[in-house]
Structure 1
């Protein structure tokens, strides 16, 4: 298994095919930093870092269903953490993954003080029946524990 970082414009077709296979409808923007895991020539996991309305957001961390629980998600999150560096970063993960995200310095936070577009996004997801939370990794928090 290998982990690599690519720009969205370089991986869009392959990345969106993977997202479709795991039931995720989010797309990939040209400027996204896409962190991707390959096993042989197959995409088996992926996440992306996006700049939205001047805010850094971790989005779409998914692992192929047959390989969940094998450490691929942890390696993707560690690689994302290194790419985030000391920047502030937001996310909207499923609630059951809160402990997982906290391992990279993300903390659950209140909607007050959050960017309005993320408040709207989380409310939309909740209205669709998703059990999600708003998380933030504060500015200056750098997690250098993991290696890729």
Structure 2
């Protein structure tokens, strides 16, 4: 079940990321979404507003729950919360198919300046790709 996580619980999100061997912690400007099975947090993602767009960061499914389709359901439900907003992300290259199936497209040379600059810097250090999900506003 999808749930928006209250900022007071961000220390628990940081623990979740650490437990799943993912670095980082949510910032105050970010909205954090969790996927729960009962009362247990099993997936997490951070969405940072960036002007007219949003930046998807740190989507992680607990290793014990991977391969069950939870990530795809989780991504779809989170994206439904932003259905009229552009969402950008830098997934690891082995996740291109996953994000493509979730409505994202490769966009190495397209996007806002902040996104392209961050991609150029990050792609020198990690095996990531630039992707976006652009929707039209009604």
TM-score range relative to shorter protein: 0.7 to 0.9
Partner of 1:38: 36
1:123 maps onto 2:120 in alignment: yes
Of residues 69-78 and 20-29 in structure 1, the stretch that sits farther from structure 2 once superposed is: 20-29
1-structure distance, mates of 2:71, 2:9 = 19
2-structure distance, mates of 1:102, 1:141 = 20
Partner of 1:145: none
Q: Which consecutive unaligned segments of at least 5 residues does structure 1 have?
A: 143-148
Contact between 2:53 and 2:85, CA under 8 Å: does it hold in 1?
A: no
Contact between 1:47 and 1:76, CA under 8 Å: does it hold in 2?
A: no
Q: What SS is found at the alignment partner of 2:136?
A: coil
Q: Which consecutive segments of 4 or more residues in structure 1 shift more than 4 A?
A: none
Distance 1:16 1:36, change over 3 A: same
Aligned length: 138
**TM-score relative to the length of structure 1:** 0.80
Within a 5 Å distance, the mapping from 1:1-148 to structure 2 comes to 2-7=1-6, 9-52=7-50, 55-111=53-109, 113-128=110-125, 130-140=126-136
Q: What SS is found at the alignment partner of 1:45?
A: strand
**TM-score relative to the length of structure 2:** 0.85
